[in-house]
């Protein structure tokens, strides 16, 4: 049975309790995360920053990753998720402590802190009171010391990593960046949710149209639009009408100016993904699957 702490903001799943979750299109990001997960079995805890603009699908990756590891690569990962925006109350640290101790019993494990900047900033204002970063001592003690234990992958999911006081944890081993404009991700969402015949063509039209009208974030737009489009009427819609439905039904996205500013501010981390993580950990994952040909490689 899934265990919940701090009013459901903290959830722990044993390997058999993880329900199917799919992340569409981000093949490089998923392969890098799989490589890091597999490496964490052999090494001390591995700390990964999951970076990307709001709406790009970052929050889906912990469960999708655990599902892939356990069902496609014959692993046995448990999962602990912490929604940092939702954890409140005086006993949060005790609740987190209980959850971390539980996760330590079911190794290997993935631990994810979503909206990590919410608990790892130098100073937070709560009401009228300024307090040092909530929970930072617990995270530092758990993730900052290299000799704690093997078989732990810590995912720090953040929209704005430049706000984080990285003394909260000792170091980051890799960065995975979720771009907002990746055609494979949009095409995969369309294919999975709508089953249209030409998802890549539609995806490119969406991106092209989006640039003209200034939209930036597409993840939530596409999924919401897919939920609202009447599949029975879909066959009668022209490509241009499907594109318009995605952009309108999905709601407004952030402006491209916001994205440019965001990428400028986070250039250090994005370069780390492009220059190091993408190459090294995808190669590591590919080598693993070659050595284990009897296993089904994750897509």
Of 9-18, 33-42, 118-127, the range with the lowest mean pLDDT is 118-127
Of 90-94, 171-175, 226-230, 270-274, the range with the lowest mean pLDDT is 90-94
Mean pLDDT of 116-124: 61
pLDDT for 260: 78
Domain boundaries, the chain: 3-180+266-291, 183-215+219-252
pLDDT for 243: 82
pLDDT for 33: 94
pLDDT for 168: 56
Of 15-24, 56-65, 113-122, 186-195, the range with the lowest mean pLDDT is 113-122
- In the chain, the DSSP E strands lie at 3-5, 10-13, 46-52, 78-83, 109-114, 123-126, 129-132, 152-158, 174-178
| CA 288/CA 191 separation, integer angstroms | 29
Mean pLDDT of 120-143: 47
pLDDT tens track for 195-245: 887 888 888 888 787 777 666 666 666 777 777 777 778 878 888 888 887
pLDDT for 215: 62
| CA 206/CA 4 separation, integer angstroms | 39
Look at residue 90 and tell me whether its pLDDT is greater than 70: no
Look up the pTM and report it: 0.78
pLDDT for 84: 81
Look at residue 177 and tell me whether its pLDDT is greater than 80: yes
- Start-to-end Cα distance in the chain: 28
Look at residue 91 and tell me whether its pLDDT is greater than 60: yes
Structural domain 3-180+266-291, CATH architecture = 3-Layer(aba) Sandwich (3.40)
Residues shown for the chain: 299
Look at residue 106 and tell me whether its pLDDT is greater than 60: yes
Phi, psi of 226 (to 5 degrees): -60, -35
| CA 223/CA 205 separation, integer angstroms | 16
Percent of the chain with pLDDT over 70: 76
Look at residue 155 and tell me whether its pLDDT is greater than 80: yes
């Amino acid at each position: 049975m899934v265990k919940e702490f701090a009013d459901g903001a903290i959830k722990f799943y044993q390997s058999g309790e993880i329900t199917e979750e799919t992340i569409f299109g981000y093949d490089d990001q998923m392969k890098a995360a799989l490589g890091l997960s597999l490496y964490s079995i052999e090494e001390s805890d591995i700390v990964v920053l999951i970076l990307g603009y709001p709406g790009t699908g970052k929050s889906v990756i912990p469960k999708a990753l655990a599902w892939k590891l356990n069902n496609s690569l014959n692993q046995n990962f448990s999962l602990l998720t912490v929604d940092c925006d939702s954890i409140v109350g005086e006993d949060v640290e005790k609740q987190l402590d209980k959850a971390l101790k539980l996760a330590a019993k079911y190794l290997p494990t993935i631990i994810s802190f979503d909206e990590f900047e919410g608990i790892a900033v130098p100073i937070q204002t709560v009401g009228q009171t300024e307090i040092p970063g909530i929970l930072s001592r617990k995270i530092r003690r758990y993730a900052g010391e290299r000799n704690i234990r093997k078989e732990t992958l810590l995912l720090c999911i953040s929209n704005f990593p430049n706000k984080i006081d990285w003394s909260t944890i000792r170091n980051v081993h890799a960065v995975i960046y979720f771009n907002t404009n990746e055609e494979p991700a949009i095409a995969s969402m369309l294919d999975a949710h709508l089953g249209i015949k030409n998802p890549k063509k539609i995806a490119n039209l969406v991106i092209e149209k989006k640039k003209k009208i200034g939209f930036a974030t597409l993840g939530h737009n596409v999924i919401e639009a897919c939920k609202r489009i009447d599949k029975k009427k879909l066959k009668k819609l022209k490509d241009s009408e499907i594109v318009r439905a995605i952009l309108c039904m999905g709601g407004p996205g952030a402006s491209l100016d916001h994205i440019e500013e965001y990428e400028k501010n986070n250039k250090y981390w994005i370069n780390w993904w492009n220059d190091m993580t993408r190459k090294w950990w995808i190669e590591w994952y590919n080598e693993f699957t070659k050595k284990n040909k009897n296993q089904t490689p994750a897509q």
